[in-house]
Amino acid sequence: MNATTTTTAKTDIGLAEDQRHGAVEILTRLLADEYVLYTKTRNYHWNVVGPQFQPLHEFFEEQYKQLNEMVDEVAERIRALDCHAIGTLAECLEHSRVHEHPGHYPPARDMVSNLMADHETVIRCLRDELETCENTYRDTGTKDFLSQLMIAHEKMAWMLRAFLQGATV
């Protein structure tokens, strides 16, 4: 990951360059995860079929809209640390810990299960990265930012899990 600084003026926000770049490496992986998860959720929104089509179509739309906001917030946090945010699909796929399955259109229940598992992957990664941001990079701003994202992913995973508890999906 290349956490290049964007300006020639010295950034003086109480973090050394290596601390900022360390936090940006974490944020870059997260940005990739968020973007791949956004794309996957949008794909499922378009391609869901079955008796639960309408509620799942709408539910996936709500979730991809939330993820779209999260993508933007993560990229802006990277910029606030005076580094470049990745912005291509190739870069996102290279850095993401969430995986796509091109050409595969699973049944609705599997879509929900896949998205839940992806959110749980992001949550587990965030738990570890919160500590790294605070203890290694001493960046409490990014730690707090990541904590709020983790809470949002926990809620999204809970909602997906609730769908799986029904017998009609």
Residue 153 lies in a domain: yes
Which residue range(s) make up the domain with 34? 27-164
Residue range 57-75: average pLDDT? 97
Residue 7 lies in a domain: no
What is the model's pLDDT at position 101?
A: 87
Q: Classify residue 82: in a domain, yes or no.
A: yes
Tens-digit pLDDT profile for residues 103-146: 899 999 999 999 999 999 999 999 999 999 999 999 999 999 99
Q: How far apart are the first and last CA of the chain?
A: 40
Residue 155: its pLDDT value, please?
A: 98
pLDDT at 6 over 60: no
Residue 12, in any domain of the structure? no
Model pTM? 0.90
- Does residue 8 fall inside a structural domain? no
Domain count, the chain: 1
Whole-number pLDDT of residue 28: 97
In a domain, residue 111? The reply is yes
> What does the pLDDT look like over 21-46, one tens digit per residue?
999 999 999 999 999 999 999 999 99
Q: Helix, strand or coil for residue 5?
A: strand
Query: What distances in angstroms separate CA 6 from CA 10, 47, 126, 141, 167, one per listed residue?
Result: 10, 39, 26, 19, 52
Give a yes or no: residue 6 inside a domain.
no
